[in-house]
Amino acid sequence: MSRNDDLPASLPGLIMTRARWEGCTNFIGGSWQRAASGQTLPMINPADGQVIDTISRSSSGEISRAIKAARSALDDGEWSRLHPVDRGRLLMRISEMIRAHTDRLAALEAGDTGKPLSQATHDITATARYFEFYGGGVDKLGGETIPYLNDHDVRTRREPHGVTGHIIPWNYPAQIYARTLAPALAMGNAVVLKPAEEACLVTLALTELAREAGLPPGSLNLVTGTGEDAGAALAAHPGLDFLSFTGSPTTGTRIQSAAARNHIDCTLELGGKSPQIVFADADLERAIPLILNGIIQNSGQTCSAGSRLLVQDEIAPEVLARLQHAFERCVAGPPDLDPDLGPLISARQCERVNGYLSACNDDHVVARGTIHPEASDAGFFVPPTLLSGLEPSDPLMQDEVFGPVLSCMRFADEADAVRLANGTDYGLVAGVWTCDGARQTRIANALECGQVFLNCFGAGGGVELPFGGVGKSGHGREKGLEALRQFSRLKTIVQWTG
Ligand code: ADP
């Protein structure tokens, strides 16, 4: 391990002017370090395929050191002595520092992920909001007293799990970092976080801001590397007390198996195939732009993307015509032009999405957007695509494509709509478009998923809103005050009072 002693005491200024990390990307026990092996991974700009930086390719040794640092922060570090209100103030301070650096953080996020600058700016605002929300939530969740026998007193106590492991994906690096980290810290856990190897530069900058804000050593540790090395080593480590994972169902199964072997609990957020259900009485002026945004946001690389459109027979031609118009006007381009959508994250993701599209008969294609003439040929651009006339069993109606592809089917009545909507292995979110209030409630109650939007669609939105799935979408709830419950465990204390 080589401590990088030549790093300046205060990095944010440098980071924000695009300083290179050049592999010094592990934050363990309060200091930035390189991987012992000296191995690195390139960070690629998805808009032009160029290498923009390098990160450490860490392995089990770095993970063990990070877990040890987290454990000592809990056992006898400054972190263990902070009052809840002081933890809250620290989170609030991090939030303020993120706000103060919004523009530079957004530029970093846009360059790393390819997302349009305005969306990256929104992501950083939400990132600050997570730290603010959980900073304020620190001292709001208490235990209770329970009526029991007359000569006994019973109370419950919420305690941190201990050392929590967090594995996050590349689609919303800033937001998901904050979504999982802030509630864990709020409840007094010590964290070891592994960001995704495809895009993580903003998580390094955010970690440095947290250090500057005064977060005690060991309370937050970050280790970069691949999923197979650093990720698997973190998930399998017996020193963990809880695991939080956001990513693909395949990796989610591995994470849950690893958690089971160590007898610890885990939260899995694994994506979806979320339906937008449009009834004949829907307000289309309102619905169409939000349905479009629900699939082009982040180029469809959003767990809660509305990727299946279910339309009632009688308005299907009108809905498709309006959406055709909207899709054909959409332009994919590099982030600094602030286009409707950016590139996909990687060549691998591009191949995956194009694979689905080339397996689909051209007769199903209703509309395609375009790619901006200034976009680099080496970028990973896929124009948004609207498909219709697919069978419910078609992979495009069943699989999470994770690209800007909206697949449409018709339904006859309410029962048909619910059957189709619930007819995948996933269950994350759903949008319902109807002006009939009683129907809104019937459908919302019948849908098998974690969030339902009635005449609105907030893919990814709402720090306050509990979020999570059923079935292949995972389990556990993040966001809102629910996350504070997830990141703590309940102890029941029974006292004989004589
Ligand atoms: P994707 O296929 O879209 O990249 P993944 O689920 O593989 O989604 O990746 C999400 C996160 O999980 C990333 O941080 C990645 O490094 C990590 N990861 C991938 N494979 C493993 C694994 N076997 N064990 C632990 N973490 C992993």
What digits encode the pLDDT tens for the residues 196-208? Answer: 999 999 999 999 9
Statement: residue 325 has pLDDT above 60:
yes
The beta-carbon contacts of 33-39 under 8 Å, at least 24 apart in sequence, are 33/1, 33/2, 33/3, 33/4, 33/62, 34/1, 34/2, 34/4, 35/1, 35/59, 35/62, 35/225, 36/1, 36/61, 36/62, 38/2
Average pLDDT of 254-259?
98
pLDDT of residue 65: 98
pLDDT of residue 201: 94
pLDDT of residue 7: 40
- Counting atoms of ligand 1 from 1, which one is nearest the CA of 258? 24
Statement: residue 263 has pLDDT above 90:
yes
62 catalytically annotated: no
- Which amino acid appears at position 138 of this protein? V
Statement: residue 112 has pLDDT above 80:
yes
269 catalytically annotated: yes
Q: Is 194 in the pocket of ligand 1 (CB under 6 A)?
A: yes
- Which amino acid appears at position 370 of this protein? T
Which of 62, 132, 269, 400 is flagged as catalytic? 269
Closest C-alpha residue for ligand 1 atom 3: 248
pLDDT of residue 21: 83
- Which amino acid appears at position 454 of this protein? L
Q: What spacing in Å lies between the alpha carbon of 247 and ligand 1's midpoint?
A: 6
pLDDT of residue 19: 59
- Counting atoms of ligand 1 from 1, which one is nearest the CA of 167? 14
Total-model pTM? 0.96
pLDDT of residue 180: 98
pLDDT of residue 15: 53
Average pLDDT of 295-322?
97
pLDDT, averaged across the chain: 94
Closest C-alpha residue for ligand 1 atom 18: 227
Which of 24, 200, 303, 330 is flagged as catalytic? 303
pLDDT band at 458 (very low <50, low <70, confident <90, very high): confident
Q: Is 251 in the pocket of ligand 1 (CB under 6 A)?
A: yes
How many Å apart are CA 436 and CA 444, to the nearest integer? 12
Average pLDDT of 379-408?
97
pLDDT of residue 12: 46
Closest C-alpha residue for ligand 1 atom 16: 227
Provide the 3-class DSSP secondary structure of residue 472: helix
pLDDT of residue 20: 75
Statement: residue 147 has pLDDT above 70:
yes
Q: What spacing in Å lies between the alpha carbon of 139 and ligand 1's midpoint?
A: 33
pLDDT of residue 393: 96
Q: What spacing in Å lies between the alpha carbon of 166 and ligand 1's midpoint?
A: 11
> What is the percent of the chain where pLDDT is above 70?
96
